[in-house]
Amino acid sequence: MPGNQIAPVLKSNAYGHGLFEVARILEHSDHNIPFFVVDSYFEAVALRAEGFQTPLVIMGYTRPSIIAHSSLKNTAFTITSMEVLRRFSAEKPQAPEGYDEEVHGKYHIPHSHRIRIHLKIDTGMRRQGILPDEINEAESIIKGNECLVLEGICTHFCDSDDPDESFTEGQIGLWNRIVKQFRSSFPHLKYTHASATDGLRFSEDIEANVGRLGIGLYGLSDNAALGARLKLQPVLSMKTILTGVKHLKAGETIGYGNTYEAVGDMVISTIPVGYFEGLDRRMSSNGFVQVGTDNVPCEILGRVSMNISSIDVTKVKDPIIGTSVTVISYKADDSNSIQTIAKLCGTIPYEVAVKIPAHLKRVVVD
């Protein structure tokens, strides 16, 4: 990226990897990080409550009344539509405690307490953002509101993983023209950022000084070719242990609905992981975990329950309670990697990662 500025996206519990753990790694790194990106006001409050100091940009919708009265320091809010901007312009931001609100008969707020915003531009996603024909009105509102500081503008690519690059090229062309207009209207505009992980390959063509890095930050992508080119390496594995061992005879069935019938004598085990712990129910008789120090692939048998799943440990040497189990492997080609699980479930790596619940303990491994 130009200037080597990457804004890590930490939304949705850092894509399931652990908000605080990932933020701590990045805040203490030597990388040139202009700000962390989160989705919600809740995430921003949580980071500040834990003492993180890195500037924040909240990309998701925040109610205008919350923006106007927020006491979060060094935090910018994304304006996601003209309606939000119009409503916000009617709000009266709260002056700092002890400050005289009336100056020469006019409401006034010091520059240090003005609200920093990033204005989202819809260049084709048709989800959030103001439309190009609304830009003039938006500029007028921002210039006319002394409580606002336009810190940045942003957009999002919706088709940057498509081998047909025509739609993305159209978005980039429109975006570049819009950036030129805003830089003329707001000479002190600090940030222009337009990206998604797949969109970073277009960085040389984009008028931007920051790249937002989401799923790729964690070594994941649903674009295999891009992942290989960028040499992405997944960083997350999920571990548990065997909690029970049984010997089955041919014809005996396993779990709810008796959906799996043993075709011969076999050894099975339970693990304390079900769909509450993020093991997708679509993995029922349709996936693997790895058992023991030899990482023996073991098939998931029958239905995945809420907190328990059964696996075939017949090929594991001396399986006993407490034997280590890798539920998710960080090696992309393994039968239980996030990428493989996503394919088996007919979904994308994003969904698999973010459904790992926040209550499960995260451990940072050097």
Note the pLDDT tens digit of each residue in 229-286.
778 899 999 999 999 999 999 999 999 999 999 999 999 999 999 999 999 999 999 9
Task: Tell which of 229, 256, 274 closes a domain.
Answer: 229
Query: Would the pLDDT of 60 be above 90?
Result: yes
Task: Tell which of 208, 229, 250 closes a domain.
Answer: 229
Q: Strand pairing partners for 154?
A: 120, 193
Supply the pLDDT for residue 190: 97
256 catalytically annotated: yes
The rounded mean pLDDT for the chain is: 91
Contacts of 61 (CB under 8 A, 6+ apart): 80, 84, 128
Separation between Cα atoms, residue 83 and residue 99, nearest integer Å: 30
Q: Which two tokens stand for residue 136?
A: 């003039």
Which pTM does this prediction carry?
0.90
CATH of the domain at 206: 3.20.20.10
Quick one: 127 and 150 in the same domain?
yes
Instruction: Give the CA dihedral 186, 189, 194, 197, nearest 10 degrees.
Output: 180
Quick one: 221 and 93 in the same domain?
yes
Is 366 contained in some domain?
no
CATH of the domain at 245: 2.40.37.10
Of these residues, 41, 99, 191, 256, which one is catalytic? 256
Note the pLDDT tens digit of each residue in 3-31.
668 999 999 999 999 999 999 999 999 88
Supply the pLDDT for residue 105: 44
Query: Would the pLDDT of 198 be above 90?
Result: no
Quick one: 138 and 181 in the same domain?
yes
Q: Exposure pattern of 329-363 as b/e (b: 16+ CB <10 Å)?
A: bbbbebbbbbbbbbebbeebbbebbbebeeeeebe
Looking at the 3D structure of the chain, how many domains does it have? 2
Confidence of residue 92 (pLDDT cuts 50, 70, 90): low
Domain that holds residue 122: 2-229
Query: Would the pLDDT of 227 be above 50?
Result: yes
Is 298 contained in some domain?
yes
Quick one: 197 and 319 in the same domain?
no
Contacts of 249 (CB under 8 A, 6+ apart): 262, 265
Supply the pLDDT for residue 357: 97
Task: Tell which of 229, 260, 277 closes a domain.
Answer: 229
